[in-house]
Amino acid sequence: MTLRLDLLRHGETERGGGLRGSLDDALTPLGWQQMHQAVSKPAAWDLILSSPLQRCARFAEALAAQLSLPVAFEPDLQELHFGDWEGVSTSQLMESDAEGLGRFWENPYTFTPPNGEPVSAFSERVRGAVRRLHQIHDGQRILLISHGGVMRLLLAQARRLPCEQLLQVVVGHGDLFGLDVDADGLLTEV
């Protein structure tokens, strides 16, 4: 069978901009609005699953209560940890570490921000969580509220993009995408 994942990126955050990674920022009023607009016509979800970071989790809890659905949290679906780059904007990095930023944008699988999580490890973490979800929730439809990096990774794999094109996948605040996950872990965008 197939697991259907509807991927929803969190909305705008209070501290905005920069590489937020594992920083636990809250949503702005606009961020809440972006997410509400994305799910204004709810699907027949069986479960709402969320990153435990508050920019995802608070909305997941509110929506689950509104729709009378169960909610669960999955730490392995948190954003990539950017190490020393956490909270730093790309314009600041252009001044302080332009070479590193360029290498990261060129191919994030071959360059890890200082003290950050390698994208290969991030990929294994996220893909492992998706495999577990398929085993537990095969045949169900889940709204997964997560982060830009998680969604870029899954969408890039569904679109069969080469590794170096990962960061070219566009995922805005409050964007919603659908994926089917089959028993072999193959991802298909729907």
Q: Give the per-residue pLDDT at 17.
A: 75
Strand partners, 27: 13
Cβ atoms within 10 Å, residue 175? 18
Instruction: Return the closest-CA partner of residue 145 out of 36, 3, 5, 7.
Output: 7
Question: Domain containing 124 — which CATH number?
Answer: 3.40.50.1240
86 in Cβ contact with 109 (< 8 Å): no
Q: Give the per-residue pLDDT at 15.
A: 85
d(CA 180, CA 187) in angstroms, rounded, equals: 6
Q: Taking the model in full, what pTM does it have?
A: 0.96
Structural domain range at position 178: 3-189
Q: Total domain count for the chain?
A: 1
d(CA 127, CA 129) in angstroms, rounded, equals: 5
pLDDT tens for the chain, residues 1 to 190:
899 999 999 999 998 778 999 999 999 999 999 999 999 999 999 999 999 999 999 999 999 999 999 999 999 999 999 999 999 999 999 999 999 999 999 999 999 999 999 999 999 999 999 999 999 999 999 999 999 999 999 999 999 999 999 999 999 999 999 999 998 889 999 9
- CB-based burial label for 109 (10 Å; 0-12, 13-18, 19+): middle
Q: Give the per-residue pLDDT at 1.
A: 87
Q: Give the per-residue pLDDT at 127.
A: 96
* Six token digits for residue 62: 């509110």
